[in-house]
Structure 1
Amino acid sequence: MLKLQKSRKQHLIIFTPYPEAGKTKTRLIPALGDIGAANLQKQMTEHTILEVNKLQHKSAIAVKVRFTGGNGELMQNWFGLDFVYQTQGEGDLGERMMRSLADAFDNSAEDVIIINTDCPGLNSQILTTAFEQLQCFDLVLGPALDGGYYCSGLQQLIPELFSQIQWGTAQVFSQTVEIAQKINLSSVYLTTLADVDRPEDLPVWQQIWKGIG
């Protein structure tokens, strides 16, 4: 079994919106209402943070939270001073991910993984596996059932992976894999997980929530 090399500088970037009623998880508003949809995002982000905390108990991994909406003070009030907070900035998802990766590598990171907070099945074990696999592969991807991905890991910035992608569609994962193959990257895929974005996805979170309770 692979072991984490603690000497490597490992960074985890969490992409999340600040939960604001009427602006967060808008596709769930018809089922949950403005406040209910925002509360669901809040709960799922907190669940992800708990799993990240478990990961940090296993290895010295630097964590940065990249957020949309809200501000740094609101994020600190939410999760405290243990993390670094920074806005995702402008642009499409690919541009924001590239910016975050470039910042991490500019700050001496060697293994960088970006995750979102929409897949409640993401846990510390999967994150541990992702960092382990990143020592052997150029690209680590966590596919989502909706055709996107919830996790992307790299040892260097590869801009091609974040351009010419139809973000927000069911082609994101397949297009990324195709690009990786064209530029001869060695790739490995994690467990496929379900996103919670639409009313029909709610049972995915309800199952996790029962387990927490």
Structure 2
Amino acid sequence: MSAEVSLAILAKAPIPGRVKTRLISSCGAEQAACVHAELLCHTLNVARAAFAPERITLWTALDHAHPLFITLAERHAVTLRPQPQGGLGVRLYHAMASASGPILAIGSDCPVLSPGLLHACAEALTDHDVSCLPAEDGGYALLGLRRAHPHLFTAIDWGTERVMAQTSRRIHELGWHLACPATVWDVDRPADLKRWQSSEATLSHPFESLQASRSAP
């Protein structure tokens, strides 16, 4: 099944003040944007370790031609596509409904995401309708579907601790079967950033390096 599954990555351009806004009070808008960029780079590295590039689409938002998106697309040979206008449910459904077969969708906030977890979620779709990586905060870091259905994306309280519970109820209402290979955590609040910084997953600052290279004479 893994070879048949595609991967959608939904990400915003790392524009200061527009991303990781819950971190700004503790580290400032510029650093929050750098954190966002680091996590996106990590996500692409993990994705490419698990999937062939032709199975991966990076769905962009805020600035579709942002240099980091261009750099990542060239480095990893993945497809870039713009997210449509609308709330998260609209954008997530659009990305997943675009697939001709089973698909996994992720954001770029989860530092503990691994190729093994991606493979586990893909394989779970062999005998389940849905696979998911619930997050400790009540949301989820990954949603996998054999086929997209709008019922999973409408009237969901996105960004709250109710997302996973509401989604689980929708899955039950459809009569579908859910697999959850693991529970993970993401970087959303200052405490999450400290947790990541104290772990072995801490990365360098690729976006800062990119900015420096672009400004060099």
Which interval holds the TM-score relative to the shorter structure? 0.7 to 0.9
Could you say what the CA RMSD is over the residues aligned between the two structures, in angstroms?
Answer: 1.8
**Could you tell me which of 19, 37, 41 is aligned with 1:24?**
19
TM-score (norm 2): 0.86
- Contact 2:121-2:181 within 8 A present in 1 as well: yes
Unaligned runs of 5+ in 2: 205-217
Question: Take 1:5 and 1:193, find their aligned partners in 2: how far apart are those partners?
Answer: 21
Runs of 4+ in structure 1 displaced over 3 angstroms?
207-213
1:174 corresponds to: 165
1:183: how far off? 1.6
Q: Does residue 80 of structure 1 match 2:81? A: no
Paired letter, 1:51 = V
Show the 5 A alignment for 1:182-201: 182-201=173-192
- Give deviations 1:158-212, integer Å, cap 9, x for gaps: 1111112111111000000011112210111131111211111112321345565
| Count of aligned positions | 202
- Give deviations 1:17-58, integer Å, cap 9, x for gaps: 1101121111101111111000000111111111111113xx
Question: Take 2:96 and 2:201, find their aligned partners in 1: how far apart are those partners?
Answer: 35
Unaligned runs of 5+ in 1: none
Q: 1:210 to 1:137 in 2, by over 3 A?
A: closer
Structure 2 counterpart SS, 1:160 = helix
TM-score (norm 1): 0.88
Question: Take 1:53 and 1:168, find their aligned partners in 2: how far apart are those partners?
Answer: 27
**Could you tell me which of 37, 54, 63 is aligned with 2:56?**
63
Structure 2 counterpart SS, 1:200 = helix
